[in-house]
Copies of this chain bind each other. A is one copy, B any other.
Amino acid sequence: MRKTPIDPDIVVRKIAESGLKSVGNASIREIVKLVSQIEQASGEKFIRMEMGVPGLDCPEIGVNAEIEALKKGVASQYPNMEGLPELKQETSRFIKNFVNIDIKPLGCIPTVGSMQGSMAAIMVANKCNPKKNKTLFIDPGFPVQKLQCKVFGVGIETFDVYNFRGSKLREKLESYFSKGDISSVIYSNPNNPSWVCFTEDELKIIGELATKYDVIIIEDLAYFGMDFRLQIGKPGVAPFQPSVANYTKNYILLISSSKVFSYAGQRLGMIAISDNLFSREFPELEPFFSSSDFGHAIIFGALYALSAGTSHSAQYALAAMFKAASDGKFLFTEGVKPYGKRAEIMKKLFLDNGFYLVYDKDDGKPLADGFYFTINYPGYTGIQLLEELLYYGIGSIALSITGSKREGLRACVSQFHPEQASLLKERLEIFRENHPI
């Protein structure tokens, strides 16, 4: 009988108890729950790579501003639907300083995490024109954004970007856009889960086609500034966070505080709508959102219906962090560089033990070490590998749930601590012994 680091009886039992039809196809949160239950039953700590959670402390600047706001009594007052004026102002300034794009404070609106931002964007973008009722995902991507389309009854198109990098992207996008039913495009950049980053040429292609076909680009900047090959983070100084906003007026940026500010717990993101799109009129919006004005429909239609605003005190936290970053007093990208180091260590251990990288290049250049990387093992599908690694005390998610057409797993580095390196090494060596290539 093969030896595994986790008692196989416990793994089998907990999988059965989970009621999941297929562990490999489970959602991220379901895997998180399963891994926690196996940890508890076995008494063994896992190498947890399944969930993209911050693994660093949150900045004191944010926490202190939030505590101060609470002491002033903001908890009793509904936040205004458009957002706290200073947060709107500081978001606009942050975007100018670190993306080099002008967006008026009016179009910068707080949301309950970027999750709510994408929900609102999907809801409104797909009602602007009755012929355009589908969102195209440049995959792989964050599975919950597809769940959002599903629960809201929006059609989905998707392709895996791996085989359509560089100039091939134009033809591929045009094949969808030319059908006339695509309202919007979603992608994250840097990409979750593959950590692929679009080149400027690719962003230009996306922007040009968005203008040509009047499609709204929902650019998810969940990992703002975290392509560590660039040195983003000096206010007003290049390099800036790359963005499609340089190439079209049809865009919405989603800026999360969860990863780059390690502020996931308070569920606060910003949706930033281009000035042009914010004030555009779409008569078809009126019956759904009581307004034909895009910005008004987002705020007083979608966001009002979804939750009537977001935590009042957390808005002060984010305003303070944006302000400190713009003032040059808070080097936010420096704070998350430990993730790059963790990725380097982890990737090496996997590669040393027979695994290989699934997404490995940006149009020819090696990917950065960042928040995620993707791996597989010869002879395995991602779904099989995910389940098998549970017996070795390693949690992950399958690329198949992210819209990837390639087999493998997403590994998130955030909860890995360098002192766990020897444990990971030991477990991967046993895995390799049990699975000779």
B-contacting 9-mer, from A96-104, A311-319, A371-379: A311-319
Contact of A74 (CB < 8 Å), options: B27, B151, B265, B288? B265
Q: Given A76-B58, A302-B151, A305-B148, answer yes or no on A312-B67 (Cβ-Cβ < 8 Å).
A: no
A71 within 8 A of B: yes
Annotate A360-383 by CB proximity to B: 1 below 8 A, 0 otherwise: 000000000000000000000000
A123 within 8 A of B: yes
A257 to B, closest residue via Cβ: B75
Q: Are A66 and B57 in contact (CB under 8 A)?
A: no
A313-B111 Cα distance, complex, nearest whole Å? 17
Residues 199-223 of A contacting B (Cβ, < 8 Å): none
Q: Given A70-B66, A75-B62, A147-B305, answer yes or no on A310-B30 (Cβ-Cβ < 8 Å).
A: no
Q: Are A307 and B147 in contact (CB under 8 A)?
A: no
Annotate A144-159 by CB proximity to B: 1 below 8 A, 0 otherwise: 1001101111000000
Q: Given A62-B75, A71-B67, A263-B76, answer yes or no on A314-B311 (Cβ-Cβ < 8 Å).
A: yes
Shortest Cβ distance from A259 into chain B, in angstroms?
10
A75-B113 Cα distance, complex, nearest whole Å? 12
A115 within 8 A of B: yes
A78-B144 Cα distance, complex, nearest whole Å? 15
For A112, the chain B residues whose CB sits under 8 A away are 112, 116, 267, 306-307, 310
Contact of A116 (CB < 8 Å), options: B258, B266, B302, B307? B307
Shortest Cβ distance from A42 into chain B, in angstroms?
20
A119 within 8 A of B: yes
A349 within 8 A of B: no
A75-B305 Cα distance, complex, nearest whole Å? 25
For A137, the chain B residues whose CB sits under 8 A away are none
Q: Are A77 and B302 in contact (CB under 8 A)?
A: no
Shortest Cβ distance from A106 into chain B, in angstroms?
13
Q: Given A112-B267, A264-B76, A266-B313, answer yes or no on A29-B71 (Cβ-Cβ < 8 Å).
A: no
For A340, the chain B residues whose CB sits under 8 A away are none
Shortest Cβ distance from A98 into chain B, in angstroms?
21
A330 within 8 A of B: no
Q: Are B308 and A306 in contact (CB under 8 A)?
A: no
Shortest Cβ distance from A291 into chain B, in angstroms?
9
Q: List 7 A-B contacts (CB under 8 A).
A: A57-B73, A74-B265, A76-B264, A112-B306, A113-B307, A144-B305, A151-B302
Write the residues of chain A forming the contact surface with B, with a CB cutoff of 8 angstroms. 27, 29-30, 51, 53-54, 56-58, 62-63, 66-67, 70-71, 73-79, 81, 111-113, 115-116, 119, 123, 144, 147-148, 150-153, 258, 262-267, 287-290, 300-302, 304-314, 317
Beyond A67-B67, A119-B305, 6 extra complex contacts between A and B, CB < 8 Å: A58-B73, A76-B265, A115-B305, A115-B308, A266-B311, A266-B312
